[in-house]
Chains A and B, each alone.
Chain A
Amino acid sequence: QKEVEQDPGPLSVPEGAIVSLNCTYSNSAFQYFMWYRQYSRKGPELLMYTYSSGNKEDGRFTAQVDKSSKYISLFIRDSQPSDSATYLCAMSGGNQFYFGTGTSLTVIP
């Protein structure tokens, strides 16, 4: 079983839609949770960083962590064509980071 599971998509939504991206994990020791955005032929760019359970909001982005269910989510409100990218979840609880395989998102104008 992989440490982190993420649906690869692809996901295609109209401009203005609310997007929900999700990851599940198996290691209850994970305490730090991140979402990265990766544009084509670029490196992952940090979007959100949260510690333990709860919600964190930054502009149009909201990250949720439910440690009891081992489930994290990223919500994008009022999605824009510029949000078209691959979104990677990541988590850590010790020496190393574990990444999901990424969900490809396309926002159609």
Chain B
Amino acid sequence: NAGVTQTPKFQVLKTGQSMTLQCAQDMNHNSMYWYRQDPGMGLRLIYYSASEGTTDKGEVPNGYNVSRLNKREFSLRLESAAPSQTSVYFCASMLERDRGRRNQPQHFGDGTRLSIL
């Protein structure tokens, strides 16, 4: 039972390079999320996808793009990496978001540690 799988686990980029972070979940979850985690800042939402075919901006979307490739996969792209994007990136998924009532908790991958020089 893999849960949420993120690749790569580590990456070093130079300023201006582009890169795509991959995320896949095998729990048949509808919603998927991308967060970044920085010391003292906690988890901040970059983008999320409530269902296949939809994406929405979170708290810190600038400099990123996302693609919900299918129900399982949600990728995050840095078009022109900047040192301020050095962080640990986490993907999460959630079974469903019931608009009227009960939310399910999110399940996280183990992260991608990204350094931009």
Contacts and interface: CB of A to CB of B under 8 A. Distances in A.
A46 B108 CA distance: 9
A45 B4 CA distance: 11
The A interface, classified by DSSP as helix, strand, loop or mixed, is strand
Contacts of A6: 42
B58 interface: yes
A23 to B, nearest CB: 11
Interface range on chain A (Cβ under 8 Å from partner):
20 to 34
B105 interface: yes
Given A44-B90, A51-B102, A95-B97, A101 B108 contact: no
A52 to B, nearest CB: 10
Given A88-B43, A101-B41, A96 B102 contact: no
Interface range on chain B (Cβ under 8 Å from partner):
20 to 34
Contacts of A8: 40
B103 A92 contact: yes
25 contacts: A6-B42, A32-B102, A34-B105, A36-B108, A41-B110, A42-B111, A43-B110, A44-B43, A45-B108, A46-B105, A46-B107, A88-B42, A88-B43, A90-B105, A92-B103, A95-B50, A95-B97, A96-B48, A96-B58, A97-B33, A97-B106, A99-B43, A101-B40, A101-B41, A101-B42
Interface of B: 4, 33, 40-43, 45, 48, 50, 56, 58, 90, 97, 102-103, 105-111, 113
Interface of A: 4, 6, 8, 31-32, 34, 36, 41-46, 49, 51, 88, 90, 92, 95-97, 99-102
